[in-house]
Amino acid sequence: FANGANPKIEQLGKYKNSDHGEFMTTNHGVKVNDDQNSLLGGERGPSLLEDFIFREKMTHFDHERIPERIVHARGSGAHGYFQLYKSMAKYTKAKFLNDTSIKTPVFVRFSTVQGSRGSTDIPRDVRGFAVKFYTQEGNYDLVGNNMPVFFIQDAMKFPDLVHAVKPEPHNEIPQAASAHDTFWDFVSLMPETMHNVIWKMSDRGIPRTLRSMEGFGIHTFRFINEEGQSHFVKFHWKPLQGVLGLAWDEAQRLAGKDTDFHRRDLWEAIDKGMYPEWELGVQIVPQEDEHKFPFDLLDPTKLIPEEMVPVEIIGKMTLNKNPDNFFAETEQIAFHPGHIVPGIDFTNDPLLQGRLFSYTDTQLSRLGGPNFHEIPINRSIPDVTNNQRDGIHRMQIPKGKVSYHPNSMAQGCPFQAMMKEGGFTSFEERIDSRKIRSRSRSFFDHFSQPTLFYNSLTDHEKRHVQNAFSFELGKVKLVPIRQRMVNMLLEVDIELANKVGDHLGLVPERLPQPITDSIPADGKLEDYHSFKAE
Ligand code: HEM
């Protein structure tokens, strides 16, 4: 889009009320003279049921809240745009990644994972980094985090993870803290969490501002070009403001003084014209190199080291406008890793595959029915035309009597969606296998990359990690959980395990070797699967 004419902002403009002293009306357009006093039967008499002005005001108020997100409930958003530096047509036919003259409108929502909607901005936690691109070919969502790896490898475990992370069911404690028994119990029984957890215990776990965070798509996705060729791709956001973390003590003090610390910073920066910017980077792996790495590209607890595949910077995102209304935009936006456009496709990462189900499913209840794509912030720039109809909160008014396919009556009927060339087609991946409930052995090396990460830190950063584990585990009441964690740290680094062990008065013990490759079903230590790649 040309300067000042962001098509998404223009589209949203059609839904906005003026805020300049219009006559107050009811929801049905009737002018209201007094919405401050109830209609009474006499000056000191009872309130009357016929008072439709009172009833409407109160009913709407009574229903103001919608359920908060099951995870990532606390968030802050902003509008902006993305512009490409160089065409990626060699790899992908996605138009917004082909043409450097196109500015694609975006809305970004940053979030914490654990806390509720009103919780503090600065706990030690993973941060969500979700970007909706309103492209000419429909909405593309890159729903990532500020760390390049996830806690678990299979979406089947997501409810367990979240139940362990969230406040405990009997007393709803703690609101927003990593330090609690259920979280560390789960982690200590699930070695696959180690990589994400060591990032979370590092300075990345408490970003200085939302503007100073990196973002990662985490999963390996596919780029598909015009010829139908596939390349694997991982996405990175690199902040031009630099990557900064808060020290733990600093975060504690700030959280006590201003629970909106990150939200306020983002709002004020944009308000003052200090627009935050991120460059988009990609790591591209040819299809034929799928098996050349010492880890599995489908494993979301692994990153591709930049020394192996450099990050190619391809464009820049600028956030330059605060939302007009938090609820209408930041709260009602619905991201989904399944929102892709032609030129981008999925892989068989079992975490990604499960996410493809979960997001729409949760949004059906969070946003009340199947038409939430018609809420202004969720609308695509291209018109939506298909044979879906009706449902709660339908806002579109489709014309014509035909809403099925095939039919012989829809000549000239705009409601009829014909199947035409040029639409999305899935990458034709060969599948020829047994149907089994399993985890691939190629996912079983849980410690090499945490070790790589720990070794990449400077001395003071390592100290922060040691202190974070010592502090968090020091709050865990059950000693066997502490012991299991110290044992697990020994698999990462002996100095780290000893430092944390010293603090807790525990001696790290080697895990039994070789360790079975079975998934720990009953939580027994013997079942740890810490298979190391040969
Ligand atoms: C919400 C990221 C894994 C289910 C979110 C949000 C982000 C995110 C950024 C907040 C979106 C927003 O701001 O509105 C990720 C990443 C994952 C991951 C990067 C792993 C790589 C999963 C998995 C599941 C899941 C495995 C379930 C199978 C959800 C749900 C929500 C959510 C239900 C709430 C969505 C809503 O209410 O709109 N996730 N997530 N996530 N995520 Fe994930």
The pTM score is 0.94
pLDDT value of residue 21: 76
Average pLDDT, integer, range 458-485: 96
CA separation for the pair 403, 400 (Å, rounded): 8
* Pick from 179-188, 498-507, 512-521: least confident: 512-521
Give 268-323 pLDDT, tens digit per residue.
Answer: 999 999 999 999 999 999 999 999 999 999 999 999 999 999 999 999 999 999 99
- Examine the pLDDT at 394 and tell me if it is beyond 70: yes
Q: Is 176 in the pocket of ligand 1 (CB under 6 A)?
A: no
Rounded mean pLDDT, 35-54:
97
Answer whether residue 521 shows pLDDT above 60.
Answer: no
Q: How far is the CA of 15 from the centre of ligand 1 (A)?
A: 28
Instruction: Please provide the average confidence, as pLDDT, over all residues in the chain.
Output: 92
Asked if residue 117 has pLDDT above 50, the reply is yes
By C-alpha distance, which of 38, 77, 129 is closest to 337? 129
Phi-psi region of 117 (alpha: psi -120 to 50; beta: other; left: phi over 0): alpha
Q: Which pLDDT score, from 0 to 100, does residue 96 have? A: 98
Region label for 410, one of left (φ > 0), alpha (ψ between -120 and 50) or beta (otherwise): alpha
pLDDT band at 17 (very low <50, low <70, confident <90, very high): confident
Q: How far is the C-alpha of 54 from the C-alpha of 40, rounded, in Å?
A: 11
Confidence class of residue 249 from pLDDT cuts 50, 70 and 90?
very high
Binning pLDDT at 50, 70 and 90, where does residue 416 land?
low
d(CA 236, CA 252): 29
Q: Quote the CA–CA distance of 111 and 72 in Å, as a whole number.
A: 5
- 510 pLDDT band, cuts 50/70/90, is confident
Instruction: Report which ligand 1 atom has the smallest distance to the Cα of 300.
Output: 21
On the CB side of 341, how many CA atoms lie within 13 Å of its CA? Answer: 21
Contact 142, 236 (CB under 8 A): no
Cβ of 350 closer than 6 Å to ligand 1, yes or no, is: no
Q: What are the catalytic residues?
A: 72, 145
| Residue 218 in contact with ligand 1 by CB distance below 6 A | yes
Dist CA 470 CA 484 (whole Å): 14
Give yes or no for residue 145 CB within 6 A of ligand 1: yes
Q: What is the Cα–Cα distance from 445 to 532, expressed in whole angstroms?
A: 5
Q: Other C-beta atoms within 10 Å of 81: how many?
A: 21
Q: Long-range contacts for 270-276 (Cβ within 8 Å, ≥24 apart)? A: 270/78, 270/319, 270/320, 270/321, 270/322, 271/322, 275/80, 275/318, 275/319, 275/320, 276/210, 276/211, 276/239, 276/240, 276/241, 276/318, 276/319
| pLDDT score, position 438 | 87
Beta carbon of 144 within 6 Å of any ligand 1 atom: yes
Average pLDDT (324-349) is 98
Other CB atoms within 10 A of residue 324 CB: 15
CA 161 to ligand 1 centroid distance, Å: 12
Classified as helix, coil or strand, 78 is: strand
Q: Which residue, 199, 218, 71, 205, is CA-closest to 144?
A: 218
- Share above pLDDT 90 across residues of the chain, in percent, rounded to a whole number: 85
What per-residue confidence (pLDDT) applies to 16?
Answer: 87
Q: Span 428-457, mean pLDDT?
A: 93
User: Are the C-beta atoms of 478 and 185 separated by less than 8 Å?
Assistant: yes
Of the residues 66, 68, 71, 200, which should be mutated to test ligand 1's pocket, given the most ligand atoms within 8 Å of the CB?
71
pLDDT band at 420 (very low <50, low <70, confident <90, very high): low
How far is the centre of ligand 1, averaged over its atoms, from the C-alpha of 186 (Å)? 19
This complex has an ipTM of 0.96
Q: How far is CA 492 from CA 100, 256, 361, 496, in A?
A: 44, 34, 37, 8
256-274 average pLDDT score? 97
Percent of the chain with pLDDT over 70: 93
Which residue is closest in CA terms to ligand 1's atom 5?
72
Least confident of 41-50, 170-179, 193-202, 317-326: 170-179
Q: Would the pLDDT of 222 be above 80?
A: yes
Report the first-to-last Cα separation within the chain, whole angstroms: 52
Q: Quick one: pLDDT at residue 534?
A: 32
User: What is the 159 CA–ligand 1 centroid distance (Å)?
Assistant: 12
| Cα of 222 from ligand 1 centre, angstroms | 20
Q: Does ligand 1 have an atom closer than 6 angstroms to the CB of 355?
A: yes
Count CA atoms closer than 13 A to 363's CA, side-chain side: 20
Residue 190 and residue 184: Cα distance in Å, rounded?
A: 10
Q: Is the CB of 82 under 6 A from ligand 1?
A: no
| For ligand 1, atom 24: residue with the closest CA | 355
Distance separating alpha carbons of residues 120 and 253, to the nearest angstrom? 12
Q: What is the pLDDT of residue 51?
A: 97
CA angle 200, 214, 491 (to 5 degrees): 30
